[in-house]
A and B are shown apart, each in its own frame.
Chain A
Amino acid sequence: MTCTDYLVVGGGMLGAAIGYGLARQNLGCTILDAHDRDFRAARGNFGLVWVQSKGADLAAYARWTRCSTELWPGFSSELEELTGIDLHYKRSGGVHFCLSDQALADRQAHLMKLAAASDGAFSYRMLDHRELLELEPELGPSVPGGSWSPHDGHVNPLYLLRALHAGFIRHGGNYQANRRVKTIEACNDGYRLVTEQGEIRARHLILAAGLDNARLAPMVGLKQPVYAQRGQILVSERVPKLLNHPSNYLRQTLEGTIQIGDSKESVGLDDGQSVHAMAKMARRACQIIPRLSQRRIVRGWGALRVLTADGYPVYEHGGNAWAFSSHSGVTLAAAHALKLSTMIRDQSLDADLQAFTANRF
C-alpha cells in the first residue's frame, strides 16, 4: 500500500492550492481528486480576487483576505513562470454596482465598518452615477452609483486551477483522479484511506473536498459544518470591450466574453438552472451595461458554493489532520498556497486564523 507524507483530499481551488504550496516546499504530496462530473465548486467560480466585500463582521477574515491579495501578484507571476500558463490576472481595482439608493446607502455603511476595523489598511471610494460613469463609460442611466476599491482584481479561475495542477505536478506532486475517498481511519503512522481504487496511507492528512468535507471530517474527529448554496451564472459570446473593471455582477474576460452573475439559492444538492434566475441576471446586466443587451448568452451554469452559516471559512486542525473549507477559493488561493501550506508543514495554524474554528458555531 502506498504511503505518502502529505495527502490532500480534493483537487479543487483549496486542495490544488495547498497541494501546490506543499510540493513547492519539496514535501512529498499526493492529491486525490474525484470525478469529472462531480459538483466541483472550483469550476463555478466568478474569478474575482476581491477585498471590498469581505470580513466586515470578522476582522481576521478581512486581514486574511488582504494578505492574500497582496501576495497575489507575485503568486501569479510565479505560477506563470513555472507552468507557462497565463492566468489573465489583473489588479486595477474593482467596482461594486448598487442598483438602488438604499443599496448605495447600505454599501456605504458596510464599507465604513470594514475600513474602521482595518486600521487604515482598507481603502475605498463611494461613487455617484457621474463618478462611476467615468470609470465605466458604458454604465446605464438608471444605476445610482457604487463603490470602488483599489485592492480588487480578477483572474481566470479555470486557468488558475489548471496552473495549480500543472505547478503541483511540476514540483513533483502526485495527482490521482477518479479516487473518491470512501473511509478514513487513524492508524499507527498517520491515516489509512480507502478509495474507489485501492488504499493509501498518509502521515499528514488535509481534507479539502468541498461539500464532501462534511462527510469526511468527522472520520478524523474534525468538524466541517458546510452546506451547499447554489450560484448561477451566464456567459456571453465574445463582445468588444464594454467593461474596464471587474465587478460584483459582471466581469469581462481577456477573451472578450462577459460573465454575468449571480444568484444565491438554497436548493440542496441541485446544481441546475432556473429561468427565473437567468432572466433576473440578464435584466440586471442590461440595466448596468445597456449595450450588452444586443448580444447573446452562449452558456449558463449552476454550481454549489461551499458555505458556512456565517459565510466565513472553517479551518480545523487535530492531530496530523486538517480540514479546510471556504467559498473564496480564488481570492485566498495565494494565501492558501504560500502561507497555509507553511503552517501545515509547521503543524501550527496562525493565531489569527483560529477565528475560523468550527467551534464558533
Chain B
Amino acid sequence: MKYDLVIIGAGPAGMSAAVEACNLGLSCLLLDEQPRGGGQIYRNVGRQTPKGKELLGPEYQAGLPLLKAFELSNCKHVAGASVWQISAQGEVFYSVAGTSNAVTAEKVLITTGAQERPMPIPGWTLPGVMTAGGAQILLKSPGLAADEAVFAGCGPLLYLVVWQYLKAGVKVKAVLDTTPRSNYLKAAKEWRAALAGRSYLKKGIKLLRDIKSAGIPIYKEVNRIAAIADEARSLGTVSFCTPKAELQIETQHLFLHQGIIPQVNLAMASGCEHHWSTQQLCWTPKVDDWGQSSQQRILISGDGLSIGGAVAASLRGKLAALQVGYENGKLSVQQRDTRGQPIRRLLAKELAFRPFIDTLYRPAEQFRKPVENEVVVCRCEEILLKDIKSAVENGCMGPNQLKSFTRCGMGPCQGRQCGNTVTELMADLSGNPVEETGYYRLRAPVKPLNLSELASLYDEH
C-alpha cells in the first residue's frame, strides 16, 4: 500500500499535518507509538478527567479540538506503532505488537517531537530519580503524583509541573533552581523577544508567583546537585549547593529538568543532515522553510526542528503538509505560498519569544558537561566521565571512536540519554567546535527490534 504521506508521531505537528494533508486530498497514514493521539504534550487529552483538565490548564486543553479534528479526518491512524527504519526509497518499516509491517510513502514526515535534555548529576541513575517531563506524563495519564518530591533544574516545564502539583494539592518538598544568575542579565537584553511573547511571560510570572506564595521552599542559583542512595540503593537524599550554603534534603523523589531538545534518532538514522544550534544547545535538522530535509523523501516538522512549543509545532505541521500537497500536484506554488503566509506570520509570533526563554533558561555548563569523575554519562552501559576522559587521553577523537572504545552510546537507548552530553564533553576535551565534533552515527533499527520479527520479513526475492 502506497501513501502520499506517512507521518510519524501524533503530537500537535503530526496531527495538524494529517488534518491539512487530508483536506488537500492526500492519502495519509499516521504511525504513533502511543495508544492514542496527542503525543507527549497533549497526552490523554481525549480522555482526561475533569480534575485533570483543571490542573493541567487551558493550554493543554487546547489540544482537544486538534485531536478531534485528527480523529475525524481521513487519515489512517495506527497506534502502538514503533517505526524502526525509513529507506531511501520511502519504505517505512514499523512494528506493532511484535509484528513488523512495511508501507511505502511518496513522502515521509517525521514529527517525533522532543525529549528531555539529559541532566547527568551524580546519582541520577538511582531509582526515584526521574525527569519532570516524566512526572507530568504520569499526571496526565493515569493521574499519578508523588508526595514530598524535589524538583530540580530550570526551564518553563519544571515550574509548570510544580504548579500543577500545587493545584492538585500535592505537597512539593522543594524546588532547586539551577538558572545561573548571569542568565537574568542576558535575558533582559532580549526584552524585545520577551515583549513579543508577553502573554506567555505573564502566565509564567503568575505561575512563579503562585508557587512562591504557596510557601514551597525555592533555592536559587543552585550550582551542584547530587542524588544520594539509601540502604535500598534507591534515592534517599538530595544534596545541593547554592552560593551561600551546602544543604541536604531527604526525599524519595527527585524530578530533573533542564529544557527539551529535538529527538534526532529517526531523522539521523535516515541520513538527514543536522547542525548544532548554539542558541538551543542541541542538534537540529537542516531543513528548508517547509521542513524539507536533506533526504529527498523526508520532511521534518514540529519540535523536532527546534524547540518552539505546541502552537508552533501545529503551525509547522501545516506548512509541511502544504509542501507535500504542492509536490503532489494538489496545489500550485502560488496556492501553497498564499496559504502558507498567514501560517508563517503566526509562527513568527510564536517563535519570537524563544530568544528570551532560551537565554533565560540556558542550562549551566556543569549540568550539561559534568565535572565529577564518577558521574554516569552513559546510563545504559554505565560509562563514567573518568572513562571518557581516559579514552580522550589515549587519542580518542570523536563520539563514534568513543563509542567503539568504551561502549558509551551502545546500549538500548541508542544515545538518547547521553548523546548531547557526549557531544559537548568531547568538544571540550578535544578542543574542537561542537559542530565539528559531531554526534553518534545512528542506524536502523531506531528502536530495538525482535529477531524473529525481523526474520519474518525475509523475502528470498
Check if A275 is an interface residue, CB within 8 A of chain B.
yes
Of B396, B410, B451, chain A has the most CB atoms within 10 Å of the CB of B451
Q: Is the CB of A279 within 8 A of B395?
A: no
**Chain A contacts for B127, CB-based, 8 A:** none
Say whether B391 contacts A300, CB under 8 Å: no
B400 at the interface (CB under 8 A from A): yes
Contact yes or no, A282 B445, CB < 8 A:
no
Q: Which residues 1-57 of A have a CB within 8 angstroms of B? A: 11, 33, 35-37, 43
| Distance between A22 CB and nearest chain B CB, rounded to angstroms | 16
For B444, what are the chain A residues with a Cβ–Cβ distance below 8 Å? 273, 275, 278, 300
Structural contact, B397 and A33, CB atoms closer than 8 A: yes
Contact A158 B405 (CB under 8 A): yes
Residues in B whose Cβ lies below 8 Å from that of A360: none
B91: nearest chain-A partner, CB-CB: A275
Alpha-carbon distance between A43 and B414 when the two chains are bound, in angstroms: 17
> Is B454 among interface residues, defined by CB-CB distance under 8 A?
yes
Q: Say if the beta carbon of B398 comes within 8 Å of chain A.
A: yes
Cross-chain contact B398 with A293 (CB below 8 angstroms): no
- In the complex, how many residues of chain A place their beta carbon closer than 8 angstroms to a beta carbon of chain B? 46
Contact between B401 and A36, CB atoms less than 8 A apart: yes
Report if A180 contacts B (CB, 8 A): no
Q: Which chain B residues border A83 with CB–CB below 8 Å? A: 394
Of the candidates A272, A274, A279, A301, the one whose C-beta lies within 8 Å of that of B454 is A279
Identify which of B102, B271, B458 gathers the most chain A CB atoms within 10 Å of its CB. Answer: B458
Q: A169-B394, A275-B93 are in contact. Are A298 and B412 (CB under 8 A)?
A: yes
Partner of A279, one of B412, B438, B448, B458: B458
Interface flag for B160 (CB, 8 Å): no
How many pairs, one residue from A and one from B, have CB atoms within 8 Å of each other in the complex? 124
Q: Which residues of chain A (254-277) have a CB below 8 Å from chain B?
A: 255, 272-276
Q: Mark B83-116, 1 if CB is under 8 A from A, else 0.
A: 0010110010100000000100000000000000
Query: Does B338 make an interface contact (CB < 8 A)?
Result: no
Check A37 against B448 for contact (C-beta < 8 Å): no
> What does the 1/0 interface line of B376-410 toward A look like (CB < 8 Å)?
00000000000000010011111111001111001
Against A, the Cβ 8 Å flags (1 = close, 0 = not) of B428-441 are 00001000011001
Contacts of A285 in B (CB 8 A): 451, 455
The distance in angstroms between the C-alpha atoms of A295 and B98, with both chains bound, is 11
Give the distance in Å from the alpha carbon of A276 to the alpha carbon of B457 in the complex: 8
Contacts of A169 in B (CB 8 A): 394-395
B168 within 8 A of A: no
Let me know if B443 is at the binding interface, CB within 8 A: yes
Q: Report B179 CB to chain A, min CB distance, Å.
A: 33
B400 touches A279 (CB 8 A): no
Asked whether any CB of chain A lies closer than 8 Å to the CB of B231, the reply is: no
- Given known A-B contacts A178-B397, A279-B454, A293-B455, A162 and B448 have beta carbons under 8 A apart: no
Known: A43-B404, A279-B457. A298 touches B85 (CB 8 A): no
Q: Please state if A298 and B452 are interface contacts (CB–CB under 8 Å).
A: no
Nearest opposing residue in chain B for A284, CB measure: B455
Interface centre among B398, B407, B452 (most CB of A within 10 A): B452
Known: A275-B93, A279-B457, A282-B458. A294 touches B414 (CB 8 A): no
Alpha-carbon distance between A300 and B442 when the two chains are bound, in angstroms = 9
B399: A residues at CB distance < 8 A? 36
Q: How far is the CA of A280 from the CA of B458 in the complex (A)?
A: 6
Could you pull out 7 A-B pairs where Cβ atoms are within 8 angstroms? A37-B400, A275-B457, A279-B457, A286-B455, A294-B450, A297-B450, A300-B444
B residues in contact (CB < 8 Å) with A: 85, 87-88, 91, 93, 102, 271, 391, 394-401, 404-407, 410-412, 414, 432, 437-438, 441, 443-445, 448-452, 454-459
Q: 4 additional contacts, CB 8 Å, given A35-B397, A297-B449?
A: A36-B399, A275-B457, A279-B455, A298-B410
The 3 closest A-B pairs by CB, nearest first: A36-B398, A177-B397, A293-B452
